[in-house]
């Protein structure tokens, strides 16, 4: 089926009390693994492209790969821009066929973030594209975006209420203790802050940096209103693990398919596992 707006998936998740997995892609095998895993689990899914993915593969390739995978899939697929940094980039992604975009204005003062988000919303809604916004800085590295521990800060509930009142995005990414990249220790989520924010904003909440967060913490966050869970690092780990195992078994191998095949299989397994954890299996 054609790519669908992410809002369509999140609205259904809101009614059903589960979360939709959003998985970052960088190449053909990753796109295939994400969509094949979703099809196997009969689950809706979000394929995401970050700044690094766009630089590496190019917008046209990402759109073409994901659109083809979606057209051949028996489940709904959304294509989402992860951490869009400017109005111009968001417009470029919309023009190329993304069905959903994130505008990350969290590095700006509150009023500037509001103004930028409103500008994106006005343009995106005119063409039926979903918009995710962010309030609060999520630590760690997401390709070209780096937020130090010192700069990272939790989302203020009252600011969240004010921000959503002024902008009304389709979903809101918040900072409650997660981080991008691999964790050095076990992350501790501020679940009470999440509940308070959710009670004030009444829109789907997005949890970034979810690779490495304990399963029980993810499940609790979903029960408190998270409707989109982002996974990137776990996919990278599965991909490289599959490649390394294949090459360790035969160091003289020259056929890339013999390494990329096992990598794809490993990614399918981790995506299926996450889909089941998020409660979206069987919800397509």
Name the pTM for this structure.
0.92
The residues of the chain scoring below 70 in pLDDT are 137-152, 180-185
Q: What is the pLDDT of residue 137?
A: 67
Based on the residue annotation, tell me whether 82 is a catalytic residue of this protein.
Answer: yes
Supply the pLDDT for residue 209: 87
Q: Which member of 11, 82, 156, 216 is catalytic? A: 82
* DSSP string of the chain, one letter each residue: -----HHHHHHHHHHHT--EEEEE--SHHHHHHHHHHHHHHT--EEEEE-HHHHHHH-HHHHHHHHHHHHHH-SS-EEEEEEEE-SHHHHHHHHHHT-SEEEE--TTS-HHHHHHHHHHHHHHHHTTT-EEEEEESBPEEEETTEEE-TTT-BPPPHHHHHHHHHHH--SEEEE-SS-EES--SS-----HHHHHHHHHHH-S-EEE-S-TTS-HHHHHHHHHTTEEEEEE-HHHHHHHHHHHHHHHHH-TT---HHHHHHHHHHHHHHHHHHHHHHHT-TT--
């Amino acid at each position: 089926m054609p790519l669908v707006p992410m809002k369509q998936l999140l609205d259904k998740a809101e009614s059903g009390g589960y979360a939709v997995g959003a998985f970052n892609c960088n190449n053909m095998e990753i796109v295939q693994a994400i969509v094949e895993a979703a099809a196997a689990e009969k689950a809706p899914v979000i394929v995401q492209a970050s700044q690094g993915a766009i630089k590496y593969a190019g917008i046209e390739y990402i759109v073409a790969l994901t659109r083809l995978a979606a057209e051949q899939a028996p489940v709904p697929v959304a294509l989402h821009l992860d951490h869009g940094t400017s109005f111009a980039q968001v417009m470029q992604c919309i023009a190329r066929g993304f069905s959903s975009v994130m505008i990350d204005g969290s590095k700006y003062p509150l009023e500037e973030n509001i103004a930028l988000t409103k500008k994106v919303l006005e343009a995106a809604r005119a063409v039926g594209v979903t918009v995710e916004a962010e309030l609060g800085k999520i630590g760690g590295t997401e390709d070209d975006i780096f937020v130090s521990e010192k700069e990272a800060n939790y989302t203020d509930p009252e600011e969240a209420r004010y921000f959503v009142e002024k902008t009304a995005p389709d979903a809101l990414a918040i900072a409650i203790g997660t981080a991008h990249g691999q964790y050095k220790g076990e992350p501790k989520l501020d679940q009470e802050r999440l509940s308070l924010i959710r009670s004030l904003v009444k829109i789907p909440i997005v949890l970034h940096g979810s690779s490495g967060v304990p399963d029980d913490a993810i499940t609790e966050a979903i029960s408190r209103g998270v409707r989109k869970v982002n996974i990137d690092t776990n996919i990278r780990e599965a991909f490289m693990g599959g490649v390394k195992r294949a090459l360790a078994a035969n160091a003289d191998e020259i056929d890339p398919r013999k390494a990329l095949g096992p990598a794809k299989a490993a990614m399918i397994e981790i995506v299926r596992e996450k889909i089941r954890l998020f409660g979206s299996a069987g919800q397509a």
